[in-house]
Amino acid sequence: MYSDLFGKTAVVTGGSKGIGNAISRRLAEEKMSVVINYNSGSGQAEQTVEELNKAGGKAIAVQADVGTESGVQSLLDAAVEHFGGLDVWINNAGMENRAQTHELSLEDWEKVMNVNLTGVFLGAKTAINHYLAHNKKGTIINMSSVHQRIPWPTFAHYAASKGGVKLFTETIALEYAKRGIRVNAIAPGAIQTPINAEKFADPEQKQSTLNLIPINYIGKPEEVAAAAAWLASNESSYVTGTTIFVDGGMSLYPEFSEGNG
């Protein structure tokens, strides 16, 4: 538990499912007030809110498309209206779909870029403006991926968006460090989430992923949420512009694990 988080407010984009859901829960356990954003399917978001509020937390669910200015603004407005401000903004919403690049449609490219990269820009911009206007040392956490570093054929748009998140994170961390605003990223590897459910339900595909993970299991959303809570708290006060890899060693070139090469 991080006592400095107590009573503070977070926005978690894409907070109803998968990693975002685990982060929302963890921050509520840290006694933060949480705006849980979802785009479609209000069910899980409303259910999470109900559970968290019953458990003594403070959460609300807000529908918004993070790829639009009005969408991210409505998340900030909800934080201010319901909880009196904003301290932590987590750009977690993301999407992916497989396509060979020579067949990838412009529409799919733009959809992925819009949520994964433009959404991160818009969310960060909204949070920074709030922090500057209130002279607040807020934090921003961007959900990246091991594929900000590892090329991923048939997911070129996804990898490009995450590569963009990396340098965007570093750039704005530098730009606003003097104002006391910290910006970091988290790069999860293979995590058991709805995005991956189908893939890991197939034993062969699951094994081929496990072969890429030195720690030898598929990560849990809670293990990513733990990094988010630390980055949100003052325990990470000297950390900005960095990416924490939560990937069981996936980014360590596991093919070389026996000294081959």
Q: Which residue is nearest to ligand BGC (CB)?
A: 145
Using an 8 Å Cβ cutoff, are 117 and 169 in contact? no
Candidates 195, 210, 226, 239; binder of ligand BGC (CB under 6 A) is 195
Candidates 14, 67, 138, 189; binder of ligand BGC (CB under 6 A) is 189
Total residues belonging to the chain = 261
Contact stretch for ligand BGC (CB under 6 A) within 12-20, 67-75, 139-147, 219-227: 139-147
> Is residue 112 at the binding interface for ligand BGC, with CB under 6 A as the rule?
no
Judged by beta carbon, residue 86 or residue 141, the one nearer ligand BGC is: 141
Q: Which of these is catalytic: 2, 38, 131, 158?
A: 158
Judged by beta carbon, residue 65 or residue 96, the one nearer ligand BGC is: 96
Q: How far apart are CA 118 and CA 113, in angstroms?
A: 6
Neighbours of 112 (CB within 10 A): 24
> Is residue 154 at the binding interface for ligand BGC, with CB under 6 A as the rule?
no
> Is residue 219 at the binding interface for ligand BGC, with CB under 6 A as the rule?
no
User: CB 13 → ligand BGC: shortest distance, Å?
Assistant: 15
Contact stretch for ligand BGC (CB under 6 A) within 14-22, 122-130, 145-153, 177-185: 145-153
Q: How far apart are the first and last CA of the chain?
A: 43
Please say whether the dihedral angle defined by the alpha carbons of residues 42, 20, 252 and 210, taken in this order, is positive or negative. negative
User: CB 246 → ligand BGC: shortest distance, Å?
Assistant: 11
User: CB 35 → ligand BGC: shortest distance, Å?
Assistant: 23
Q: How far apart are CA 218 and CA 58, in angstroms?
A: 30
Q: How far apart are CA 170 and CA 120, in angstroms?
A: 13
> Is residue 242 at the binding interface for ligand BGC, with CB under 6 A as the rule?
no
> Is residue 114 at the binding interface for ligand BGC, with CB under 6 A as the rule?
no
Give the 3-state secondary structure of residue 61: strand
Judged by beta carbon, residue 87 or residue 96, the one nearer ligand BGC is: 96
Contact stretch for ligand BGC (CB under 6 A) within 9-17, 51-59, 129-137, 142-150: 142-150
- Classify residue 180 as exposed, middle or buried by CB count within 10 Å of its CB (0-12, 13-18, 19+): middle
Torsions phi, psi for 49 (to 5 deg): -60, -45
> Is residue 190 at the binding interface for ligand BGC, with CB under 6 A as the rule?
yes
Two tokens at 72? 């991210």
Q: How far apart are CA 115 and CA 119, in angstroms?
A: 5
Task: Tally helices (H) and strands (E) across the chain.
Answer: 9, 7
Task: Enumerate residues 25-64 that contact ligand BGC by CB under 6 A.
Answer: none
> Is residue 96 at the binding interface for ligand BGC, with CB under 6 A as the rule?
yes
Total interface residues for ligand BGC by CB under 6 A: 8
253 noted as active-site residue = no
Q: How far apart are CA 180 and CA 79, in angstroms?
A: 21
Contacting residues toward ligand BGC, per CB under 6 A: 96, 145-147, 189-190, 195-196
Residues annotated catalytic, as ranges: 158
